[in-house]
């Protein structure tokens, strides 16, 4: 059994749909980072997505064993919606964007990926890590963290999307057996 400590990267302060766009994280809140690092298990290996905001957040957790960055832990790919504001997209394609958020599943942004595609790749990444260590710290994004919750709690996509996942928060769970210990914890 592996306990996953899912950490959402530091804030980007973007007011747009940011998925695969590689924006840096604001890691200026050193007190929050110190509390976060102290809350996480000592000696547990750290893996992050390959986007700089996740890598920099993982680096800020201090000296811990590091695993190779994994692109399967990236945020959802928003395709043609990347870096655009919700209101702008809604004015252009209201039916698709509402369906995308209200009934997550197979609906994808133009040139992007669906919720089901994101869950498939992020679940596969966690399955590869399963059993490799008792505790693993995963620095990722809203989408992969909510996807892990969906699986661990056996939720519908709509119910999973109802979870709030703040920047620099910790969600702790196991997948085998499925059990959730903390959601959106701010140490």
The per-residue pLDDT for 71 is 98
Does the annotation count 77 as an active-site position? Answer: no
123: nearest Cα among 73, 164, 172, 87: 73
Q: Of the listed 9, 77, 113, 141, which one is catalytic? A: 9
Does the annotation count 75 as an active-site position? Answer: yes
- In whole angstroms, give the CA distance from residue 47 to residue 139: 6
Q: Model's pTM, two decimal places?
A: 0.96
Question: Can you give the residue ranges of every domain in the chain?
Answer: 3-76+115-185
The per-residue pLDDT for 43 is 93
Asked if residue 33 has a cis previous peptide bond (ω within 30° of 0), the answer is no
The per-residue pLDDT for 170 is 98
Superfamily in which the 3-76+115-185 domain is placed by CATH: Phosphoglycerate mutase-like (3.40.50.1240)
Q: Tens digits of per-residue pLDDT, 89-134?
A: 999 999 999 999 999 999 999 999 999 999 999 999 999 999 999 9
Q: Tens digits of per-residue pLDDT, 129-187?
A: 999 999 999 999 999 999 999 999 999 999 998 999 999 999 999 999 999 999 999 99
Q: Tokens 């959106």 map to which residue?
A: 184
Half-sphere exposure of 146 (CA within 13 A, CB side): 22
Q: Tens digits of per-residue pLDDT, 40-53?
A: 999 999 999 999 99
User: What is the chain's length?
Assistant: 187
Q: Of the listed 75, 77, 113, 141, which one is catalytic? A: 75
Give backbone dihedrals phi and psi of 51, rounded to 5 degrees, phi first: -85, 145
């Amino acid at each position: 059994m592996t306990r996953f400590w899912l950490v959402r990267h530091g804030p980007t302060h973007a007011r747009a749909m940011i998925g695969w766009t590689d924006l840096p994280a604001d890691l200026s809140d050193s007190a929050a980072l110190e509390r976060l690092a102290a809350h996480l298990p000592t000696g547990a290996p750290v893996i992050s997505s390959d986007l700089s905001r996740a890598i920099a957040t993982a680096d800020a957790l201090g000296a811990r064993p590091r695993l190779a960055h994994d692109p399967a832990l990236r945020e959802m790919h928003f395709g043609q919606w990347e870096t655009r504001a919700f209101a702008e997209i809604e004015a252009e394609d209201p039916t698709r964007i509402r369906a995308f958020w209200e009934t997550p599943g197979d609906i994808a942004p133009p040139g992007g990926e669906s919720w089901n595609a994101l869950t498939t790749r992020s679940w596969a990444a966690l399955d590869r890590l399963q059993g490799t260590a008792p505790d693993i710290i995963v620095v990722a994004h809203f989408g992969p963290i909510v996807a892990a919750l969906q699986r661990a709690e056996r939720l519908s996509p709509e119910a999973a999307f109802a979870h709030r996942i703040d920047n620099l928060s910790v969600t702790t769970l196991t997948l085998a057996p499925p059990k959730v210990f903390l959601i959106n914890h701010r140490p």
